[in-house]
Structure 1
Amino acid sequence: MSFEIACDESGFSGSNLLDPASPVITHASVDLDVPAAADLIGVLQNSRRSEYKSNRLLRPEQRPALEWLLGELRGHAHVHAIDKTAYVAARVLELFTEEPSYGWGTSLGADHSETAELLRHRTGFLAAFVDLTRTKRVRLMDHAAVDRFFATMPADVPALRAVTRARVEEVMQRLIDEDPDIPPPLEPLVPALAATVLHWCAGGRTVAVVHDEQSALTPGRVARVGAFLAARVDPPPLRSFVQVDSRDDPRVQVADFLAGIARRRKPDLDELLQPFTCASTNSSQV
């Protein structure tokens, strides 16, 4: 069985993954058809000429509209949430102790949640890792950045003992050479896409994805996500992928609403949002 989902994110901040003001990125998906999504947008928009955004729905006076929308989406939507700090911490282990895998950050990858929790407050070390692996337009290895990475590495985290300078320098050279087999370490939207497809492909379904335009989701990366999943899930779950301008597709706009609501969730929203989220299965989810 094949069907189509529409996706958008909230909280994406490029490689600035340790910004305390934006600790979570959410990736939402809906399986609505265009007329159904347009009807939802029409009710929310009402007579307003300005674009209706998720932060408006979170105002106290908009609580009835928020509850109505989430009620309408129940059974037709999913949210994959990524704790950015945990994501960075897990990437240290995945990048420098494992073979490259487009399953990193999904239920098909290793669970590094225990180490991620130990590293959560080692901000100097995590910042050194981010600086080290930010290789865009870099053509020579920054040995000073490698030195800072090892100088800030905590000695009391057992899993880090497997991280060697030889391995770090080997991987860094591959990143500098733009080796396509290594998933980009600072692009959480790549594993978010893979995890979203894995959610919707349950029961042998194949998924066509319509996504808001995102530079992180290049054709090459999406193709490798698809190939990785196809080698492990039967039938191959990712049938197609296309990016669109969210203003032209009401389904993506609805996904944007849900992603924004989930990213800014407060305790009084936990019960309402629970049906759209899944239990944490690895160290980068919340």
Structure 2
Amino acid sequence: MSGDPADGERGGAAGPFLEVACDESGSDGENLTGGNTDVFAHAGVSLPVTTAAAAVREIRDRIRSPAEEYKANHLLREKHRAVLEWLLAPEGPIHGQARVHLMEKRYFVVDRAVSLLLGDPAEAVALFRVGRRTFGENGWRAFLEAANHLLRVRHDGDPVADFHGTADALRRAHPGTEAARILGRLAAARPRAEAYRAGFLDGPPLIPLLNPLLPAIVRTAVLWSGDGRPVRLVHDRQNMLTPDRIAWIEEAARQAGVDLAGVRLVVARDDARVQVADFLAGIARKIASDELNGRGDPALTALLRPYVDPASVWGDVRSRALLAAPVAGRW
């Protein structure tokens, strides 16, 4: 790599572009209700290579861990709190040049299931906000797991029967509630669920409905498209990012009005900008998860807030309000 592509003077006749380095945290593939994390985060940074490398060196100098590769967990340790605050602070090295898109996984499952079966995102919001209170912790977990099972590509048993059996049992147990009304609409949409599963007979879909990575990458491209220059994404290598899926990302971004100059895959340890994006994604995922579970740290949440995409996929109203407050500037 020659020069500093993040400064934009690349692209030949196409003119300068903005290069944004990306990474994620919290990916469990399509297992969004039984994985190790409850939040998915996708971060992008527009730092010049030299600035990112200097930030990584500074983090290493301050933490002094013998680890060959630093991760967000190093920064999240209480003994390194000062380093974490330095990184996120308004005077820090990434402020104004980094952004993170968050997805609350449980809400993502509900949104995808209800949108598929009803084509009505508003009903997904309504069900998510009353489901746990109506069905109780165990009933709500059973519904989420059944919805996840219905939508994921890899499955066993009969996911349509399992989903509708679970939904019907909850509806009968809680008649007259708003949640039961929505489950009644889902029951009437069983043919759509059958058609969705029948579509897999010809092989798995190119774009899995439940995998949050691909739409998050598109959203990242949209976030960085506001200064009039084409955007090129540099992303950590992922098995999910096949040539066909990258082509889909590029087309989806262009349909969203983004002049996307391509997606380039790199090994994270070879690009300091991607390492910084990895830090931010992991930090944001942890801070957001803490807020979601009622153990948020107000100081860290306030430091993270300017980086959070206001269009993050977030069903929990309180946490969303704390995390994604409007910010000034191009965002």
TM-score, normalized by the shorter chain, greater than 0.5: yes
TM-score norm. by structure 1 comes to 0.84
Asked if 1:83 corresponds to 2:104, the answer is yes
Structure having the higher helix fraction is: 2
Contact map agreement 2:18 2:232 (CA 8 A) in 1:
yes
Q: What secondary structure sits across from 2:101 in the alignment?
A: strand
Asked if 1:147 corresponds to 2:169, the answer is no
Deviation at 1:242, TM superposition (A): 1.6
1:249 corresponds to which residue? 271
Deviation at 1:24, TM superposition (A): 0.6
Q: Could you list the runs of 4 or more consecutive aligned residues of structure 1 that deviate by over 6 angstroms after TM superposition?
A: none
**Alpha-carbon distance between aligned partners in 2 of 1:179 and 1:41, rounded to the nearest angstrom:** 40
- How many residues matched? 270
Contact map agreement 1:112 1:282 (CA 8 A) in 2:
no
**Alpha-carbon distance between aligned partners in 2 of 1:281 and 1:218, rounded to the nearest angstrom:** 25
2:147 corresponds to which residue? 129
- Greater RCO between the two (CA within 8 Å, min separation 6)? 1
Q: What secondary structure sits across from 2:93 in the alignment?
A: helix
Gap regions ≥5 residues in structure 2: 1-15, 172-178, 288-295, 321-331
Q: 1:86 to 1:74 in 2, by over 3 A?
A: same
The amino acid across from 1:170 in the alignment is A
Asked if 1:221 corresponds to 2:245, the answer is yes
1:54-203 aligned at under 5 Å gives the runs: 54-70=72-88, 71-98=92-119, 112-119=124-131, 122-136=140-154, 144-153=158-167, 154-155=170-171, 156-163=179-186, 164-178=189-203, 180=205, 183-203=207-227
**Alpha-carbon distance between aligned partners in 2 of 1:89 and 1:260, rounded to the nearest angstrom:** 24
Contact map agreement 1:28 1:258 (CA 8 A) in 2:
yes
C-alpha deviations, 1:110-167, integer Å up to 9, x for none? 794333333455211221122223324x7xx95x321111011143344444431211
Gap regions ≥5 residues in structure 1: 100-108
**Alpha-carbon distance between aligned partners in 2 of 1:129 and 1:176, rounded to the nearest angstrom:** 20
Asked if 1:210 corresponds to 2:234, the answer is yes
C-alpha deviations, 1:200-259, integer Å up to 9, x for none? 1124342101111122233323322322332241xx332200221111111110011111
Asked if 1:264 corresponds to 2:264, the answer is no
- Aligned-residue Cα RMSD (Å) equals 2.6
Deviation at 1:195, TM superposition (A): 1.4
Q: 1:283 to 1:69 in 2, by over 3 A?
A: closer
2:23 corresponds to which residue? 8
**Alpha-carbon distance between aligned partners in 1 of 2:162 and 2:182, rounded to the nearest angstrom:** 19
Contact map agreement 2:41 2:102 (CA 8 A) in 1:
yes
**Alpha-carbon distance between aligned partners in 1 of 2:218 and 2:113, rounded to the nearest angstrom:** 20
Q: Percent identity?
A: 36
**Alpha-carbon distance between aligned partners in 1 of 2:234 and 2:275, rounded to the nearest angstrom:** 11
Q: 1:212 to 1:112 in 2, by over 3 A?
A: same
Deviation at 1:19, TM superposition (A): 3.2
